[in-house]
Amino acid sequence: MEQFKRALNESVALRWGILVLVGFILSVNYYFYDAFSTLKDQLKDVYDFTNTDYGLFVSFYSIPNTFLLMAVIGGIILDKLGIRRTGFMFIFFMAFGALLTAYGASDYYSAGGLGYDAMNSFLPGYSPQLKMMLLGRFFYGLGAETSIVVVSKILVKWFKGKDLALAFGLKVGFGRLGTFAALQLSPVLSNEGTTITTAIWLAAVLVGTGLLAFVIYMLFDAKLDRQIEHNSPVSSTATNKFSFSDMGSFMKNPAFIYIALLCLTFYSAVFPFLAFAPDFFSDKFGFTAVQSGQITSLLPFATAFFTPFFGWLIDRKGKSATAMIFGSIALLTVHLIFSLTSMLPYFPMILLGIAFSLVPAALWPSMVKLVDEKQIGTAYGMMYSIQNLGLWGFPLLAGYLLDVTNPGNPDVSDYTVTIFMFAGLGLVGLIFSLLLKRVDKQKGYGVDLPMNKK
């Protein structure tokens, strides 16, 4: 009689099929997040948003993960309750928040629909539409970040020791394809604001389909767990339990700290920039909304191809810490070009795409060198909460700087000071990447080793 059954994650075809399935969840998540980037001017025209209002809307995504530490709590729940229950709960929150945001932008709600009077009864300085959309953005952010943590743990579960960095690179690529699609489609569907609700509702419905995709994944995950328990009953239960006391082991690790701080500064110089980039290109170079969206989409388009390639290299050659240094230098260079020169944005956006491929392809898989698998959800949750501190604060600061440096000029804004702020973040990130390289060399954590070596 055969004692062990071949586990599902030993099947190459099924393993990569699972990656496509959870990659779709990431794609629709990123689509919704970035669908509003090309709609900034339309939000100002249709709903009377100011630059500060728009910055508040972008930053509200990060409030639950910054001040309520929901990504950390979600990671702990993930390590305690497992992938299926945690994933369904938080992806449900993500879908609910996306639909609530779309409802807040809908014509029915603006005409006095359910909840309009309640939202109109407080904080008169903010429109009822903005307040409902902020509530939706809150729930969306509450679920979206932990859903990314869940996907990360899924990849560790299915790919550890089997091209993990390539899998993470493709995971990033799926997210960037969602961003690319949003930047291409949203301004077309919005049609200069005349059908803005169509663009927003499509983004929300796509997130709802992501919840259905996760339900399908749950069936495969349950079968894999049964196989693992059958083949290794001891290791799958008694020896692999998460404990809160385990958190201290990676929180005291200087390599983890430097990676987390690099994550904070690097992503704060990219995602908030992307939220303003179409408007920046329109104001500085005179592009239309559609043209600005197409140019901005060069970034996710480039990363969708470069990130898997860099992940493949890191699996085989290593040099993760070195890749983070070069990515940080490229990021700094791009923002200095945008802030100090009038160079057309095509080449800088491709260079930013390379930077935004190098760092994520190296950063996220490096966690398996520093953290035990039973702690991986908590560690990723901690990383995402630290990242969200920047994703909350810097969109607010960017919008505020635009209003302060462009008084009485609501139509065309000078972005020099705002982009120079992003360059400063790139410089600080470069310092953290250099410190990571040094401590890895001193302590021998193996961050620069190929992923198939510990």
Cα 79 from chain centroid (whole Å): 21
For 151, the enclosing helix (H) or strand (E) is helix 128-159
Of residues 132 and 8, the one with the higher pLDDT is 132
**pLDDT tens per residue across span 44-90:** 888 888 888 888 998 898 888 888 888 788 888 888 888 999 999 99
**Residue reference for tokens 């690319």:** 180
Q: Tokens 């070009």 — which residue?
A: 337
Q: How confident is the model at residue 11 (pLDDT cuts 50, 70, 90)?
A: confident
pLDDT digits over 251-275, tens only?
Answer: 778 888 999 999 999 999 998 898 8
CA angle 318–319–320, rounded 5-degree value:
95
Q: Say if residue 98's pLDDT is above 90.
A: yes
- Kindly indicate the confidence band of residue 452, based on its pLDDT and cuts at 50, 70 and 90: low
User: Average pLDDT for residues 445-452, to the nearest whole number?
Assistant: 78
CA distance readout (Å), 445 to 21, 57, 287, 292: 33, 40, 47, 43
Whether the predicted pLDDT of 117 surpasses 90 = yes
Measured at the CA of 103, the angle between CA 100 and CA 104, to 5 degrees, comes to 90
CA 35 to chain centre: 13
**The pair of three-digit structure tokens given for residue 377, joined into one six-digit string:** 């959800």
Tokens of 111: 């005409």
Prediction pTM value: 0.77
CB 373 within 8 Å of CB 156 = yes
Q: How far is CA 162 from CA 188, 365, 373, in A?
A: 41, 12, 15
Angle (deg, nearest 10), helices 416-443 and 320-340: 160
* Topology of the domain covering 13-227+239-443: Growth Hormone; Chain: A; (1.20.1250)
Contact 366, 164 (CB under 8 A): no
Locate the domains of the chain by residue range. Answer: 13-227+239-443
